[in-house]
Structure 1
Amino acid sequence: MTIECALSAPADRAGAILTIDLGAVVENWRRLSARLSPAPCAAVVKADGYGLGAAAVGRALFGAGCTRFFVAQLDEALALRAALPDPQILCLGGLPARTDSTFVHHRITPVLNHLGEVDAWAAVCRERNTALPAAIHIDTGMNRLGLSPAEVDELSADPTRLTGIGLDLWMSHLACADEAESPVSGEQLARMTAAVARLPKAPVSFANSSGIFLGSAYHFDLGRPGVALYGVNPTPGKPNPMVPTIRLDARVLQVRSVDLGMTVGYGAAHRMPRAGRIATLGVGYADGYFRSLGARGHVFVDGVPAPVVGRISMDLITVDVSGLADGAVVPGKLVELIGPNRPVDTVAEEAGTIGYEILTSLGRRYHRDYTGGDAGKKAV
């Protein structure tokens, strides 16, 4: 005799549920596009779309009209190309040795970061007798990637080194765009303006998420926001002009009564100041819920805050729910870790980090539920 049984749903098996609103990502892109206009707005989807899923995010944004996407590494570009056959994909990490055929075959545009890469790509173009597109990064003060001032001098003195390249874009990156009063952004703007004035004419991209809010002088010919697309505030200290894109809810696994003086978690780090109740949730630092949130973080239960107590474990956190009514917290209930009551930036502040790190650390064990942006759902 065969016994049939229904398999449990993935959402029921997961310790936590991450809800990703692709419609909100699209709305943020539209808001940024409106601020940039008439310059177009690209999208940075590196680090797997800042943790939200590059394929899903990319498809939703392409469906909304975004035609240029930036990633950091070639493998990211190849994965995105598999999801998005048509738009331009630019790879910020340069032109690693022995990868030129991969760039060409998959129509990935390299961002060239030093003259050695410029010369190598020019040779590829001449060998193939095709003006293959490339962007060139100019370092205006970050001292990470990009042509140094000496290399800009060298290239401006001999622009024939660009012969054969389909020069698509000059670009640079702002160091302090999220500090509106910092003089560094203005200094970088002056260096960028002076550099491109000496070089062959091509479109210019300068503004990142926060740079878009520094004013039209920074917009040039293309904006390339990243973190603002995903709801992190690009204007710290001011109201967030973006809409939230994620909600993270953890499942209550157990609720127990504890007496005065009893300890909770590893290291007996929390001692109960009074008798109460502790709820254990099915999420931990292995899921990207930072260990630094132990004794600092908060969750919300039906709109009511409850403090995280004790150390964050690999798979579990403990929350003091003594202040909630009896029966308000039971096994199986979902509790808000990130959401309307706990925005990403608030969680980041409690963790002693930034919203970027919270997003890019989102765990792979969460059940991911994509909403909105029908084009993006197909990638999941």
Structure 2
Amino acid sequence: MATGSLTIDLDALVRNWQALDKASGSGVETGAVVKADGYGLGAAQVARALARAGARRFFVAVAEEGAALREVLGRAPEIYVFGGHMPGDADMLGDLDLIPMLNSVDQLTRHFEALAGTSFGIQLDTGMNRLGMEPGEWAAVAEVALTAGPKLVMSHLACADTPDHAQNRQQLEMFHAMTDGIDVPRSLSATGGILLGEDYHFDLTRPGIGLYGGLPFEDATPVAHLSLPVIQTREVEQGESVGYGSAWVAEEPGVIATVSGGYADGLIRAMGNTGHLFFDGVPCAIVGRVSMDLITVDISHLTAAPKALDILGPDQSVDDLADAAGTVGYEILTSLGGRYKRLYTGGAG
């Protein structure tokens, strides 16, 4: 028996993309970020649904992800690689028409030497200090790079999830300073940037987490629904402990359900004694530590023993669960393991 049943609602995914596409505004193209296996939900299924909905530019982290996506989508869509042109990537990039976002002078040199005349993009660092060329580097190579005809020039916002953060405006101004006047499509915004407003949209937006039901897109429709089967129930007496380290002790007699799922399945250990599962909308507290394969849940208040309990769905979003675990929705989604029975609904062409 699978650890649990993970249902991915592709219609909800498409609705989220359509809403973010509308928010991006007229004349702005909306791409889709499907890195990390579609944020843990299956890049092949996610990308096919988004392509049917109208997405034509997709973004992945590394060339290997791009190669897998090209096999799924065929030759028509553009596939951009955030990590750029790494050593050993030339054949894959060239053979599969992948577009590396060149992040440094070294990558620019490598690409021009190995794949002269093939597509590329440029990533600029406007203040995040993670990937991209800094202003001085860009000034030194801009003329050569622009003459070669990049497909896209982009940067990435560090604080877009916090709308009033001063760095948003600082990065916007830096992006203008580095790119105004160029005749190349520009992109600055992922999900958070889209929600900051039209000043941040430029020619292309690239939503990621919002597609999959996560913050900061508060109006997102939940995409992932995860139900965990109950393996066993047992009665506990006042004073009895549950799980490793006796981390929870019953204050009164009760009933404990042990469900199949744990931190090996991406259900983070830190939500022991803080998180909840749900049965028909009724919250049931996680008691004791989350272990590798099992979670213990207090169901004393239920009138009947359930066959399964829900941990993701309408009653609890990925961000609700992340709050209980002291992390972010991105980690919850991308950590979902391979033991789940996966069911895809909707998304039909």
Taking structure 2 as the reference length, what is the TM-score of the superposition?
0.97
CA drift at 1:83:
0.7
Offset, 1:197: 2.3
- In the alignment, what sits opposite 2:125? 139
1:329 matched residue in structure 2: 305
Instruction: Provide the C-alpha distance between the structure 2 equivalents of 1:122 and 1:161, rounded to a whole number of angstroms.
Output: 9
Residues 204-248 of structure 1: per-residue CA shift (max 9 Å, x gap): 00011010011101000000010000000225xxxx111110111
Which residue of structure 2 lines up, in the alignment, with residue 148 of structure 1? 134
Is 1:212 the counterpart of 2:188? The answer is no
Question: Are 1:353 and 2:327 matched, yes or no?
Answer: yes
Post-superposition offset of 1:94: 1.1
What's the counterpart of residue 225 of structure 2? 247
Work out the CA distance in 1 between the residues paired with 2:234 and 2:39: 36
* Residue aligned with 1:146, SS: coil
Alpha-carbon distance in structure 2 between the residues aligned to 1:267 and 1:160: 62
CA RMSD of aligned residues (A): 1.2
> What CA deviation, in whole Å up to 9, does each residue of 1:99-143 have, x standing for no partner?
2122010110011001121122223454xxxx3211100100011
Secondary structure at 2:152's aligned position in 1?
A: strand
Gaps of 5+ in 1: 1-12, 376-380
Match of 1:172?
A: 155
Q: Alignment identity in percent?
A: 46
- Which amino acid counterpart does residue 63 of structure 2 have in structure 1? L
- Structure 1 or 2, whichever has the larger Rg, is 1
Task: Give the Cα separation in 2 of the matches to 1:116 and 1:145.
Answer: 13
Instruction: Please say if residues 94 and 115 of structure 2, whose CA atoms lie closer than 8 Å, have aligned partners that are also in contact.
Output: no
CA distance in 1: counterparts of 2:149 and 2:3, whole angstroms: 50
SS at match of 1:144: coil
1:49 aligns with 2:5: no
The answer to whether structure 1 residue 193 and structure 2 residue 176 are counterparts is yes
Partner of 2:208: 226
Indicate whether 1:303 and 2:296 are aligned: no
Where structure 2 has 5 or more consecutive residues not aligned to the other structure, the ranges are none
Alpha-carbon distance between aligned partners in 1 of 2:145 and 2:56, rounded to the nearest angstrom: 29
Match of 1:291? 269
What pairs up with 1:25-44 in 2 under 5 angstroms?
25-38=13-26, 39-44=28-33
Q: Cα 1:247–1:364, aligned 2, differ >3 Å: closer, same or farther?
A: same
Amino acid in the other structure paired with 2:169: G
Opposite residue 234 of structure 1, the aligned amino acid is P
Match of residue 183 from structure 1: 166
1:58 has 2:30 as partner: no
Q: Which residue of 2 aligns with 1:312?
A: 290
Cα contact 2:25–2:198 (8 A) shared by 1:
no
What is the alpha-carbon distance in structure 2 between the residues aligned to residue 215 and residue 71 of structure 1? 24
> Is the aligned partner of 1:338 residue 2:327?
no
Amino acid at match of 1:303: G
TM-score computed with the length of structure 1 as normaliser: 0.89
Query: Quick one: structure 1 residues 184 and 161, their matched pair in 2 at CA, closer, same or farther if it must change by over 3 Å?
Result: closer
Could you report, residue by residue, the CA deviation over 1:226-277 in whole angstroms, capped at 9, with x for unpaired residues? 0000000225xxxx11111011100011111111111100111111101111
The 2-side partners of 1:46 and 1:98 are apart by 20
Q: Quick check: 1:107 aligned with 2:94?
A: no
Equivalenced residues, count: 347
Give 3-state SS (helix, strand or coil) of 1:121's partner: helix
Amino acid at match of 1:193: H
For residues 44-75 of structure 1, the C-alpha deviation after alignment (integer angstroms, 9 at most, x for no partner) is: 00000000000000000001111100000111
Closer/same/farther in 2, CA of residues 162 and 98 from structure 1, 3 Å limit: farther
Q: What is residue 98 of structure 1 aligned with on the other side? A: 88
Amino acid corresponding to residue 98 of structure 1 in structure 2: G
Tell me how far apart the structure 1 counterparts of residues 269 and 115 of structure 2 sit (CA, whole Å). 49
CA deviation map 1:159-206 (0-9, x unaligned)? 13554x3311110000000001101000000000010026x4211000
